[in-house]
Amino acid sequence: MNLVIDAGNTLVKTAVFQNNRLLDRQSFNKKEFSEKFQIIRKKFPGITHSVISSVTSDDTGIIAEVKKSYSLLELNQNVKLPFKNDYATPGTLGKDRIALVAAAVNSYPGMNVLVIDAGTCITYDIKTANEVYLGGAISPGMEMRFKSLHKFTANLPLVKPKPEVELIGKSTETSILSGIINGIRMELKGIIGGYSTEFEDLTVIFTGGDSQILSIPLKNSIFANSNFLLEGLNFILEFNRTQ
């Protein structure tokens, strides 16, 4: 039984897997980790191994606490990956992107896969049918775009996103909604179309916190999975346990 930990700047996501089956998933403030960790330990006494992906350098306390209980794999550039990494600067590749590509290898082996993660940033990552990671793209996320219009202009308000927007905005608020929401949707369609011409029988995975709002007008052939990153971390852990 494995404990997967995805530690962000303020939130921690945890998942418990047994034989690649998700048994438990939680999300909580980083300050609550010790309390939540003890609850998970008591609820799942069969956990023996853990993996952590941390985006900051101040998670030494979390790492030390987990190490006291389980064999811990820390995701970094030295960890063995279940795919060939052709990224020109592998040391700068985000851990979230690594985990998402690993999940694509695990769930869709032998297939060309584009993973789109709509979060703080929108990331695009492509792996080939030969399990080679080529790279992708990074674009500003939805919230970042709303905040930038408000911050870098004198009169534009900070608008909250809505899933239903018109093409033609009839007010400043609806114009911002149209520009950002429809702009991202057009971006997604264009990039997916570009990759589809380059890679035969392309499978597209759409995940991330904003995927529900942004995926509404996209084709049904696109799969959304909110646990995809956690599944990728678990696969990396299992891959390293067998090496």
Catalytic residues: 96
- The reply to whether 203 sits in an annotated binding site is no
Structure tokens belonging to residue 138: 């990074």
- The reply to whether 133 sits in an annotated binding site is no
- The reply to whether 6 sits in an annotated binding site is yes
Cβ pair 127, 119 in contact under 8 A? no
Half-sphere exposure of 93 (CA within 13 A, CB side): 24
- The reply to whether 183 sits in an annotated binding site is no
- The reply to whether 96 sits in an annotated binding site is yes
- The reply to whether 87 sits in an annotated binding site is yes
Using CA atoms of 145, 163, 13, 36 in order, give the dihedral in degrees to the nearest 10.
120
- The reply to whether 135 sits in an annotated binding site is no
- The reply to whether 10 sits in an annotated binding site is yes
Q: HEC string of 3-66? A: EEEEECCCEEEEEEEECCEEEEEEEEEHHHHHHHHHHHHHHCCCCCEEEEEECCCCCHHHHHHH
- The reply to whether 12 sits in an annotated binding site is yes
- The reply to whether 201 sits in an annotated binding site is no
Q: In this structure, which amino acid lies at residue 242? A: T
Q: Are strands 84-85 and 223-224 parallel, antiparallel or unpaired?
A: unpaired
| Binding-site residues from annotation for ATP | 6-13, 120
- Enumerate the known binding-site residues for K(+): 117
Q: Which residues are annotated as a binding site?
A: 6-13, 87, 94-97, 117, 120, 172
